[in-house]
């Protein structure tokens, strides 16, 4: 521990408050040029850097009187298990027991915020270095302080389970921190070698497991504030509808109504109960303008390769030229539908706006953006708006923009009391930020030996990243193509001599945005179905066929490893056995390769997925059990989206508006066995939550072809099979 430097008092905080005696936050890690870094990193679709602040004295850790450590997480927990991984990372460097750490969401007023978001499968990978460095620094600060208090030499002290001990004395971290007003902050210590970690790499039970099994009130929907009222906002069911005004005379007379609030852009009710608010809302007569009487076919027409603006996003060799000549050209087209998030907890917020400040409790993936939007709307300083993030009842990208917090805040301001305001399920289905529909044209030529000579992927998609408040405005002109839409759309077979990918950007008349894994599901469905068609044309086993198209670099090596591992584990055979066939597909997302094999039967025209085998290489798995849980969930969610789910547009309305008619996979559709093999191609963690969603759609479609001879080129697959029969 060399190069100690004394920092001034203002460089760190001591927080009082209940049960809290010391708060340490030290800056050791600073990203320069954040916007440029962000764009460059995102372009490469490798790990997004952490975009919060590790330099200023904001609360990361607190030590409580009972010798526990509270970690204020800048990332939110939406089921992906990030809190557990962060606890493991912090506990290992802090030298505390995993049960001594309590992970909470950082509030915007006192904690650290990631200006990017929680999303993109980047939480653990982005915090992998900075969080451990902060924890290690705090550990050394405690060591230095303990040495002074115990009058011992620093090097003789041992730290373990939150206790500092010398040969004959010991103190808890809490005792060490008590009464300290000035800390010695050392230079960032060396991190421990992986082999010395007690928790990292182990299948620790989720830190939020008990709360979630006993029904603790941890979600935004569960939030309450004293003296709280209930709000309801009118939302149009029609695409393009813009609010102009409302007749509220009938609604005002409804029981329980406290106030009807008419703003420039919306009208809402505040009442004494949720039911009263909704009942009164139904009596408001709203005038809208700009409704668009569109239908599904109109949308499909808009999303067509050749329309919109093309951007070349990948080009090796001269595929275009080779594929221009129609001889021996293989061409296929694929489609994917509009998808709904359908997360179980509707969007909403509890807001309390007082004279010069606002407090918002909300499930959101974008704490900083929500704070800024509220501050702007209420004309408050940003630091007067405190966002208290709650656990999310599902994220999946649905909460990457939460302007509904504004509505709760405006209603609260109008009645000068806290107001809770949520979407109804119908409003969720009609005002979602949907997964955009896509259209793909794939072309290729094969050599006589069955190698791909040239291949081209054209994808047309509604916007994903563009138009989102998370993307810096300057990104659009720089990037051109929507990086969310082409996620998974690049050709991952580097041994093909000529290949290119072209992304066609279309702006749809309704909101389309991030949906778990973005374009990965649709792009992989198209590319990997096409690869299967090519393998069959070439007369080569589909696994073998892919292996020969992969280059020999590091990326290629990891890709080949997952392919071999999954084929091995599943005992892959390209033939029908006992009425079941295996379908294979593989994708690379955010640097994580993932291969899947689905064992499928089709009986009475019903697609049934019996088992799925998955091999994924996310690098170091901080918590292997939770990585597997993400694979299991993503596989079934991907099955749901590719076999069943579809939003339609009818007379200008998105439909259906309820579970059931919006058909999703249920227990009976879930594979009876999901076998996950984890490989570790790097010694640091990579993306986990989204990559395993990629291959499943194509894997199922490829199996169905073997069973029925029918090539399903449009999702959802069951509807497509019904149509072909």
In the bound state with another protein, the residue whose beta carbon lies nearer, of 84 and 523, is 84
The single-letter DSSP state of residue 644 is: I
- Least distance from another protein to the Cβ atom of residue 518, Å: 17
Of 27, 72, 87, nearest to 53 (Cα)?
27
Interactions with another protein, residue window 379-418 (CB under 8 A):
391-396
Alpha carbon distance 95, 158 (integer Å): 10
Element (H, E) at 554: helix 554-570
Please, which residue, 537 or 663, has the CB nearer to another protein?
663
Looking at the Cβ atoms of 422 and 705, the one nearer to another protein is 422
> Residue 690: which of 615, 618, 598 has the closest Cα?
618
- 125 token code pair: 């990978």
The dihedral built from the CA positions of residue 546, 552, 553 and 557, taken in this order, carries a sign that is positive
Question: For residues 596 and 695, what is the distance between their CA atoms, to the nearest angstrom?
Answer: 6
Q: Which two tokens stand for residue 675?
A: 């076998």
CB nearer to another protein: pick between 29 and 659: 659
Find the binding residues for another protein in span 233-292 (CB under 8 A).
273-275
CB 456 within 8 A of CB 315: no
Q: Is the peptide bond preceding residue 656 cis, with omega within 30 degrees of 0?
A: yes
Judged by beta carbon, residue 425 or residue 564, the one nearer another protein is 425
Q: Contact region for another protein (CB under 8 A) — 206-214, 311-319, 324-332, 479-487?
A: 206-214
Q: How far is the CB of 233 from another protein (least distance, A)?
A: 16
Nearest CB to another protein, comparing residues 262 and 670: 670
722 by DSSP, 3-state: which? Answer: helix
Distance, in Å, from the CA atom of 138 to the CA atom of 61, rounded to the nearest integer, reads 9
Q: Which of 63, 131, 141, 221 binds another protein (CB under 8 A)?
A: 221
Kindly write out the interface string for residues 160-199 of this chain, putting x where it contacts another protein by CB under 8 A and - elsewhere: ----------------------------------------
Choosing from 346, 397, 437, 691, the residue that interacts with another protein (CB under 8 A) is 346
Judged by CB under 8 A, the number of residues near another protein is 62
Q: Out of 17, 19, 179, 217, point to the residue binding another protein (CB under 8 A).
A: 217
- Residue 410, token pair as written in the block: 């405006």
Helix (H) or strand (E) holding 601: strand 592-603
**Least Å from the CB of residue 368 to another protein:** 22
Give least dist CB 32 to another protein, A.
Answer: 35
**Is 570 a binder of another protein (CB under 8 A)?**
no
Residue selected from 216, 244, 329, 577 as contacting another protein according to rule CB under 8 A: 216
Mention every residue, 6+ apart, whose C-beta is less than 8 A from residue 310: 458, 502, 503, 504, 505
- Among 342, 385, 598, 643, which residue sits at the site for another protein (rule: CB under 8 A)? 342
Please list every residue from 414 through 453 that binds another protein, using CB under 8 A. Answer: 422, 424-425
Residues 50 and 68: their CA atoms lie apart, in Å, by: 26
CA distance 355 to 381: 12
The secondary element (H helix, E strand) that includes residue 530 is helix 520-538
Among 288, 311, 659, 684, contact with another protein (rule: CB under 8 A):
659
Task: Say whether 656 sits in a helix, a strand or coil.
Answer: coil
DSSP characters over 481-514: S-TTTTTT-S---TTSSEEEEEEEEE--SS-B--
Instruction: Compare residues 60 and 525 and give the one whose CB is closer to another protein.
Output: 525
Residue 632 in the binding site for another protein (CB under 8 A): yes
Nearest distance in Å: CB 266, another protein: 21
Could you give the angle at the alpha carbon of 290 between the alpha carbons of 287 and 293, nearest 5°? 110
Residues 6 or more apart in contact with residue 5 via CB below 8 angstroms: 185, 186, 187
> What SS3 state is found at 24?
strand
238-246, 344-352, 405-413, 574-582 -> range binding another protein (CB under 8 A)? 344-352
Under rule CB under 8 A, residue 664 binds another protein: yes
Residue among 209, 312, 331, 478 that touches another protein (CB under 8 A)? 209
* DSSP 8-state class, residue 35: H
In this chain, which of 182, 187, 211, 324 binds another protein, going by CB under 8 A? Answer: 211
Which stretches of 354-490 are assigned E, i.e. beta strand? 358-362, 385-389, 419-422, 438-446, 452-462
**Radius of gyration (Cα) for the chain, nearest Å?**
27
| Binding of residue 667 to another protein (CB under 8 A) | yes
- Selected range binding another protein among 86-94, 187-195, 219-227, 466-474, rule: CB under 8 A: 219-227
**Three-state DSSP state, 33:** coil
Return d(Cα 211, Cα 551) in angstroms, integer.
47
- Of 444, 458, 441, 457, the C-alpha closest to 538 is 444
Q: Which of 98, 316, 670, 707 binds another protein (CB under 8 A)?
A: 670
Q: Which two tokens stand for residue 58?
A: 């904001």
Binding residues for another protein restricted to 79-138, rule: CB under 8 A: 79-81
Nearer to another protein, 154 or 670 (CB): 670
Identify which of residues 139 and 398 has a Cβ nearer to another protein in the complex. Answer: 398
Query: Among 167-175, 548-556, 600-608, 628-636, which window interacts with another protein (CB under 8 A)?
Result: 628-636
Binding range to another protein, per CB under 8 A, among 331-339, 468-476, 613-621, 662-670: 662-670
Angle (deg, nearest 10), helices 624-639 and 696-708: 50
Of 308 and 633, CB closest to another protein: 633
Angle in degrees, 0-180, between the axes of helices 367-378 and 404-415, rounded to the nearest 10: 40
Q: Which stretch binds another protein (CB under 8 A): 160-168, 202-210, 554-562, 712-720?
A: 202-210
Rule CB under 8 A: say whether 674 interacts with another protein. yes
Residue ranges binding another protein (CB under 8 A): 78-81, 205-206, 208-219, 221-222, 224, 273-275, 341-346, 391-396, 422, 424-425, 625-626, 629-630, 632-637, 640, 658-660, 664-668, 670-672, 674
């Amino acid at each position: 521990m060399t190069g100690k430097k004394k920092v001034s008092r203002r460089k760190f905080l001591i927080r009082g408050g209940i049960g809290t005696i010391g708060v340490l936050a030290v800056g050791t890690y600073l990203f320069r040029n954040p916007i440029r870094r962000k764009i460059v990193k995102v372009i490469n679709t490798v790990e997004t850097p952490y975009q919060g602040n590790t330099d200023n004295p904001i609360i990361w850790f607190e030590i409580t009187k009972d010798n526990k450590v509270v970690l204020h997480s800048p990332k939110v927990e939406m089921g992906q298990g990030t809190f557990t991984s962060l606890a493991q990372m912090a506990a290992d460097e802090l030298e505390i027991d995993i049960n001594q750490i309590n992970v909470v969401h950082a509030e915007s007023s006192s904690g650290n915020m990631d200006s990017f978001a929680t999303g993109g499968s980047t939480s653990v990978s982005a915090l992998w270095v900075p969080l451990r460095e902060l924890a290690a620094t705090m550990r050394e600060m405690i060591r230095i302080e303990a040495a002074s208090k115990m009058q011992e030499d620093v090097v003789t002290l041992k730290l373990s389970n939150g206790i500092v001990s010398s040969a004959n004395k010991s103190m808890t971290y809490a005792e060490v921190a008590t009464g300290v007003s000035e800390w010695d902050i050392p230079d960032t210590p060396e991190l421990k070698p992986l082999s010395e970690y007690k928790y990292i790499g182990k299948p620790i039970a989720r830190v939020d497991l008990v709360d979630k099994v006993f029904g603790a009130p941890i979600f935004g929907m569960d939030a309450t504030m004293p003296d709280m009222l209930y709000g309801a906002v009118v939302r149009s069911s029609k695409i393009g509808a813009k609010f102009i005004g409302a007749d509220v005379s009938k609604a005002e007379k409804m029981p329980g109504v406290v106030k009807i609030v008419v703003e420039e852009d919306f009208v809402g009710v505040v009442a004494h109960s949720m039911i009263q608010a909704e009942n009164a809302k139904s009596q408001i007569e709203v005038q809208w303008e700009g409704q668009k009487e569109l239908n599904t076919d109109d949308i499909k027409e808009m999303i067509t390769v050749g329309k919109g603006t093309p951007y070349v996003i990948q080009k090796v060799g001269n595929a275009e030229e080779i594929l221009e000549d129609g001889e021996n050209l293989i061409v296929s087209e694929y489609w994917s539908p509009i998808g709904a998030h359908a997360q179980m907890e509707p969007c909403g917020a509890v807001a309390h706006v007082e004279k010069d400040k606002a407090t918002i409790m909300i499930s959101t993936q974008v704490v900083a953006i929500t704070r800024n939007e509220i501050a702007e709307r209420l004309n408050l300083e940003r630091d007067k708006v405190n966002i208290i993030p709650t656990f999310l009842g599902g994220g999946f990208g649905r909460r990457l923009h939460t302007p509904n917090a504004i509505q709760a805040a405006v209603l609260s301001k109008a009645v000068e009391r806290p107001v809770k305001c949520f979407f109804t399920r119908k409003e969720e289905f009609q005002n979602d930020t949907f997964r955009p529909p896509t259209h793909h044209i794939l072309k290729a030529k094969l050599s006589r030996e069955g190698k791909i000579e040239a291949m081209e992927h054209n994808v047309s998609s509604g916007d994903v990243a563009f138009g989102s408040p998370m993307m810096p405005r300057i990104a659009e002109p720089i990037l051109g193509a929507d990086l969310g839409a082409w996620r998974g759309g690049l050709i991952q077979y580097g041994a093909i001599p000529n290949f290119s990918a072209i992304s066609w950007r279309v702006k749809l008349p309704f909101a389309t945005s991030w949906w778990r894994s973005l374009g990965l599901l649709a792009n992989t469905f198209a590319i990997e179905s096409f690869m299967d068609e090519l393998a069959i044309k070439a007369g080569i086993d589909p696994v073998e066929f892919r292996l020969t198209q992969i280059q020999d670099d590091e990326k290629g090596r990891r890709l080949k490893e997952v392919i071999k591992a999954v084929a091995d584990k599943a005992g892959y055979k390209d033939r029908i056995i006992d009425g079941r066939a295996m379908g294979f597909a593989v994708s690379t997302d955010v640097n994580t390769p993932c291969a899947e094999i689905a064992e499928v039967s089709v009986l009475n025209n019903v697609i049934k997925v019996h088992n799925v085998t998955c091999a994924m290489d996310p690098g170091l798995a901080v918590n292997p059990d939770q990585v597997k849980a993400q694979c299991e969930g993503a596989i079934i969610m991907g099955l749901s989206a590719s076999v069943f789910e579809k939003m339609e547009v009818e007379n200008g309305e998105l439909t259906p508006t309820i579970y059931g008619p919006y058909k999703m996979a249920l227990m009976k559709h879930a594979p009876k066995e999901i076998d996950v093999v984890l490989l570790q191609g790097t010694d640091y963690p990579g993306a986990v939550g989204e990559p395993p969603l990629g291959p499943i759609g194509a894997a199922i479609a490829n199996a169905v072809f073997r069973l029925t001879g029918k090539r399903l080129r449009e999702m959802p697959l069951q509807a497509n099979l019904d149509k072909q029969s």
